[in-house]
Amino acid sequence: MVTRQTDLTRDKLLQAAFNEIHLHGFQAASIANILRDTGLTKGALYHHFPTKQELGLAVIDEVVSELLEKWIFSRLRESGKPVQTLLKLIDESGRKTELEAIVLGCPLNNLMQEMSPLDDEFKARLNRILSIWQSVVEDALQREKKSGVVRSDVDCHAAALFIVSAWEGCVGIAKSQQSMKNFSLCMKQLRNYVQSLLAVQAK
């Protein structure tokens, strides 16, 4: 049960790799930088991960995935009022104060844009997370459809797809403009779209 030393080293590598990838992308991510940041050496890295690709895949499965799970997926799944929670998440995201989140963008989207056309392993892992995102949003809409909050004529599948796409689009544009003002404005429009799906526009 003791937190074994080896697990700590592995976590340090994963976290440093995540930061390096988040900053430079996967291909331009430098093994040397990761080792410099952690104070470790190649011996340690290649003991835990056979290749750079496997390191990247582990970052996706264990860091990126967990981040989204914690901040978005679980909160939507466990919410009793999922649409309200969705609107809150959109608001929260739009009011992000950390400049880092604006400058560096969404780790998932960054990796998808870079790696999906280049590597099928990456594509599969990334799309798995993306499809979870879509399905939790779709499920949120679907549940509220039954409760009458969401209009009965809404195509929840298509709407969820668009919400996630537009979400990532807003983050991406804000990242390239490096403007949190535009980001807030953009997410506000997304909020308007979501509200346009509701039967009663109030709240």
- Among the listed residues 86, 112, 106, the one whose alpha carbon sits nearest the alpha carbon of residue 203: 86
Nearest distance from residue 86's CB to a copy of itself, in Å?
16
CA distance 54 to 48: 10
Return the residue of 45, 58, 137, 186 that touches a copy of itself, per CB under 8 A.
Answer: 186
- Per-residue contact string for residues 98-137; x = within reach of a copy of itself by CB under 8 A: -----xxx---xx-xxx-xxx----x--xx--x-------
Span interacting with a copy of itself, options 31-39, 87-95, 142-150, 186-194, rule CB under 8 A: 186-194
DSSP assignments along 34-57, one per residue: HHHHHT--HHHHHHH-SSHHHHHH
Reduce the DSSP state of residue 203 to 3 states and report it.
coil
181 CB contacts (<8 Å, ≥6 apart)?
none
Binds a copy of itself (CB under 8 A): choice among 6, 7, 8, 28: 28
**Would you give the DSSP letter of residue 141?**
H
Residues numbered 13-42 forming contacts with DNA, rule: CB under 7 A:
29-33, 39-42
| Angle 133-137-143 from CA coordinates, rounded to 5° | 145
Nearest distance from residue 123's CB to DNA, in Å? 18
Rank residues 82 and 94 by Cβ distance to a copy of itself and give the closer one: 94
At its nearest, how many Å lie between DNA and the CB of residue 13? 9
Nearer to DNA, 53 or 113 (CB): 53
Q: How far is CA 65 from CA 10, 31, 58, 81, 183, in A?
A: 17, 22, 10, 24, 23
The binding site for DNA (CB under 7 A) comprises 2, 4-6, 8-10, 29-33, 39-44, 46-48, 50-53
